[in-house]
Amino acid sequence: MAERRTLVLSVDRDDDIGYKAGVDAPVVGREACLAAANALALVDPEDSDVNAIFQAVKVADELAVNGEEVEVAIVAGDHLHMIEGDRKIARDLERVIARTGATECILITDGAEDDFVLPIIQSRIAVSSVRRVVVTQMVNLEGTYYILKKLLDDPKISRPLLVPVGLAMLLFAIAYLLGYPEGAMIVVVGVIGTYLLFRGLGYDDIFGSSYRAIATSISHGRFTLLTNLAAVLLVIVGAINGMTTMIVHYMGGDQANGVFMFLAFAYGAVPWFVVSGLVSSAGRLIDVYLGERGEVWRVLLLPFLTLAAGLFLFGAAIYVLAINRAPEFPILAEAGLQYFALLSVAAALCLGVGIWLQHSARRSAAEGGDRAALPSE
């Protein structure tokens, strides 16, 4: 029959011992656990994890007095990312079990949040008992104040709770000071409603993931993701501006064909689309230059091609709208022809410069490769 060895385990799911006290988990052994509890108590005496760790040591001592083979340990998760934290708890627990040779576990927890890890613990080792630590000094009003204070100090709770309320109150004050008290309540309700809708539909996770992806992309020297995001926003603005322009210069006129409608849209949208293309191309150029400098010539023509196409299409839109005397169009027919000619020449020059630069860059890259292939003397 295998010898029974009990592991008394304290679980710190939000990693207070690491985040506050700087103690790396897992912590194994009575002295090491007491040192971790003391370190956390010196930083935050009110933290309930301190009591849980001391309780774990106490239970281990009681079992040892009765002659049982016992070991005490602490495992911790992640302070901000609970999913990754739970995975870390599973990995650390496996290390503790391998190190101590434990066959069963007594789980010590400081509250309901840590109970979420109970299935993880049970999947690795048999749990023979669960002990929840309650601080008995917290009663009535003092206990209520302590709980509220702990909730407000916890960023996982205070951020989603206080930020929207604070923003709504700030907008209410601004609207009232600007002389729109009747619209202040609409603004507040709109802000809170939008926030609740985003939280309820899970869009906050999407935006959080996008933010982390952008931050990771920038930290690794990749700018394409950021510039593409900016380009998408510019395209949206351009589309709105194009629709507005089409309504102003097309509706009410005598023209009724799709080409005229398209050019009316292009007159308002193309400048934004061109800027969007240039921003996206700039990010691509930067990434290629930093990663594969010899391949820059492959993407060097793209911004020039985008600008040339935009100039030509914008000039054509001005010319057609001018000669057809679009409603409220500020350019006369004679000036429209001049605009079209000048912008067409500029487009041709831009395309020519781009082709020349691409050819020069390609030749320089080929010469550099040939020099690198020559044997050293």
* Extents of the domains making up the chain: 6-132, 154-201, 221-371
Q: What is the pTM of this model?
A: 0.42
Residues of the chain with pLDDT under 50: 1, 138-139, 141-142, 252-253, 372-374, 376-377
Q: How far apart are CA 165 and CA 325, in angstroms?
A: 53
DSSP-H helix ranges across 178-296: 181-201, 203-219, 224-250, 258-291
Pair of tokens at residue 194: 């939008």
Q: What is the pLDDT of residue 144?
A: 63
Residue 98: which of 67, 71, 66, 62 has the closest Cα?
71
| DSSP code for 22 | -
* DSSP helix/strand/coil, 333: helix
Q: What is the pLDDT of residue 377?
A: 43
Q: What is the pLDDT of residue 327?
A: 61
Q: What is the pLDDT of residue 374?
A: 47
CB distance 337 to 311 below 8 Å: no
Q: What is the pLDDT of residue 149?
A: 65
Pair of tokens at residue 233: 């926003």
Q: What is the pLDDT of residue 1?
A: 43
Please give the distance of CA 130 from its chain centroid, rounded to a whole number: 37
Q: What is the pLDDT of residue 252?
A: 47
